[in-house]
Amino acid sequence: MTTTPDTAAVTLEAEPRDERGSTRANRLRREGWLPGVVYDNTGRSQPVKMKQHQVEVLLKRHGRQNLILDLAVAGAAPRKVILRDLQRDYATDRITHADFMEISLTRKIRVEVEIRLVGEPVGVSQQGGVLEHLLRALTVECLPMDIVREVTLDVSAMSIGDSRFVRDIPLDPKLTVLTAPDIAVASVQMPHVEEEKAPEEAAAAEGAEPAAAGEKKEGEAAEGEAAKDEKAGAKTDKAADKGEKAEKGDKAEKAAKPEKGRK
C-alpha cells in the first residue's frame, strides 16, 4: 500500500543572497532570514534567502519529506524544486540552512520514501515476541508528481521467527524500487533475556575471587620466606668460609715458628 502524493501547489518566496561566509549567514539569521541554496539540473547553485517564519509554517503544514514546491526568486517566474536537505542547530533544533534542487515534471528523480509498519503482529500480541523494524526507507525512482510520502507494510500476520523483505512491500507500478529486494524490513523475534545465575553459583563466583586473592598472598608470603632463608644460608656459608680461612692461617703460622727456633 502506498500513500497518495500531496499534489497541492506550495509556493515559497525567496531573494538572491550575496552574503557569503558563516559570519554573514549568522547575521541574516538574527535578522529573521534563512540562508539556502538552489541547484539547477546542471549542478550550478544559486544562494538565496527566505523568511525563517514562512519556511517553518510551510514545513509544519506540509512536512519536509520529499516536499515539492514552487520557488519564486526575486519576483521571477516560479521554478519547481524539491527540498533536498535541512540543517538544524544541534542545541536549539532551529533550522539554519535549506537546500533545494530544481526538477522537471517530465524527468524521473531518485528519492527516499519512508516505510511505515501497520498492524500488531500475532507473534507480539499472542506469542510474547518483539517486532524489530530493520529498514526505515526505500530508494525509488519516479516522476516528481508520482512521489509518495511513505509506503506501508502490513505485519499483523507475522509470528515469531517470521521476516518481511523489500519484495513484500506492495508498491505502485509507477515507482521503480532501487533498494535490493532481499533486504529485511521487519522481523519478529523472541525477547532477549539474560540468564540469571542460581544463588549457589553466584555465591561461588563471588567467593572464588577472595580465595584466589588469598592464595596469591600466601604464595607471595612463601616466596618471601624462601628468599629470607636463602639470604640466611648465604650469610652462613660466608661465615664458614671465613672461619676455614682463619683456621688455615693459624696452622701456617704455627708451622713457621719452629723453623725460626732452629736457626
Joined grid coordinates for residue 83: 527540498
- Which DSSP symbol is given to 3? P
Antiparallel, parallel or unpaired: β 184-189 and 163-165: antiparallel
How far is 73 from 81, CA to CA, in rounded Å? 12
How far is 115 from 164, CA to CA, in rounded Å? 12
pLDDT mean across residues, the chain: 81
Of 132, 136, 167, 170, nearest in space to 153 by CA = 170
User: For residue range 148-205, what is the model confidence (pLDDT) as tens digits?
Assistant: 989 999 999 999 999 999 999 999 999 999 999 999 999 999 997 766 655 666 556 5
How far is 137 from 116, CA to CA, in rounded Å? 9
Joined grid coordinates for residue 40: 539547477
How far is 232 from 76, CA to CA, in rounded Å? 104
Cα dihedral 202→207→209→212 (10° resolution): -140
Give the pLDDT mean for 139-143. Answer: 97
Q: 10 Å Cβ neighbour count for 177? A: 17
Q: Is the pLDDT of residue 72 over 80?
A: yes
49-67 burial string, b = 16+ CB within 10 Å, else e?
A: bbebeebeebeeebeebbb
Cβ contacts of 219-225, under 8 Å, gap ≥ 24: none
How far is 66 from 2, CA to CA, in rounded Å? 14
pLDDT at position 202? 56
User: For residue range 204-260, what is the model confidence (pLDDT) as tens digits?
Assistant: 656 555 545 555 555 555 555 555 555 555 554 554 455 554 455 454 444 444 444
How far is 59 from 85, CA to CA, in rounded Å? 12
User: For residue range 11-57, what is the model confidence (pLDDT) as tens digits?
Assistant: 999 999 987 788 889 999 999 999 999 998 888 999 999 999 999 99
Q: Is the pLDDT of residue 88 over 60?
A: yes
- Residue 136 pLDDT class (50, 70, 90 cuts): very high
Question: Residues 6 or more apart from 54 whose CB is under 8 A from it?
Answer: 12, 13
DSSP secondary structure, 61-121, as one string: HH-STT-EEEEEETTSPPEEEEEEEEEE-TTT--EEEEEEEE--TTS-EEEEEEEEEES--
Strands of the sheet with 130-133, listed across from one edge: 130-133, 184-189, 163-165
Sheet strands (E) in 143-203: 150-154, 163-165, 176-177, 184-189
